[in-house]
Amino acid sequence: MTRPPPPALIGVHGRTIYVAAPYGAPTAEERAENVARAGALCRVLVHLGAYPVCLHAAIEAGHYGDDSDAEQRTAGLHVARSIARSIVDSGGLLIALERNSGGVSPGMRSEIEWTIRNPYEDGDHLPPRVRLVRWDEIVVLDGVEL
C-alpha cells in the first residue's frame, strides 16, 4: 500500500474490527458487488494489521437464515448487532462502509444504533469506536483486487 489509509482506518493495527457494509440489494449482481466491497475492506484491514469480522459471506451462504424472509432477517440482524456490540464493548471498532450515494443502509443503521445504544441519522457525531469510511477511500488503495 503506497498511499496512507483514510483517517477512519488510522490506528486499526492489532484491533478487532466489525465491518458493517451494505448487503441487501434489488439484484443478485448488486448483492454480489456489496459482498465484494465488504471483502475488499477486510483485505485492506488485514493489510493494516487489523482483525476484521465480516458476516457478508455467511449471510450470502444462509448461515443466519434467509435474508429475504423478514422474520429470518430480523433474527440474523440480532446476531449481527450482538457481535458488533460485543466487539466494540471489548475494545474493538465498528467500521461502516458508506454507500456510493453516501450514508448507511437500514441494516447498517441498526448495527450502529445497537452498538452505540442511541438513535443514529446520517451525519450524526459518532463515538471514537465507530467510524465511517467511503468506498472511494478504499478502492484507491494499492493491493485491493476486485
**What are the tens digits of pLDDT across the range 49-72?**
999 999 888 887 878 878 788 898
Domain count within the chain: 1
**Residue 145 domain-assigned (yes or no):** no
Q: 131 forms bridges with which residues in the sheet?
A: 95
8 in any annotated domain: no
146, part of any domain: no
- Residue of 44, 26, 57 whose CA lies nearest to 97: 44
User: What number of helices (H) and strands (E) belong to the chain?
Assistant: 5, 4
The Cα-based distances of 79 to 52, 68, 75, 85, 86 in angstroms read 16, 16, 7, 10, 11
Give me the residues of the chain with pLDDT under 70, please: 1-2, 142-146
Find the CATH number of the domain harbouring 20: 3.40.50
Domain residue limits at 37: 14-139
Please, what sign has the CA dihedral across residues 136, 141, 144, 145? positive
Domain assignment present for residue 4? The answer is no
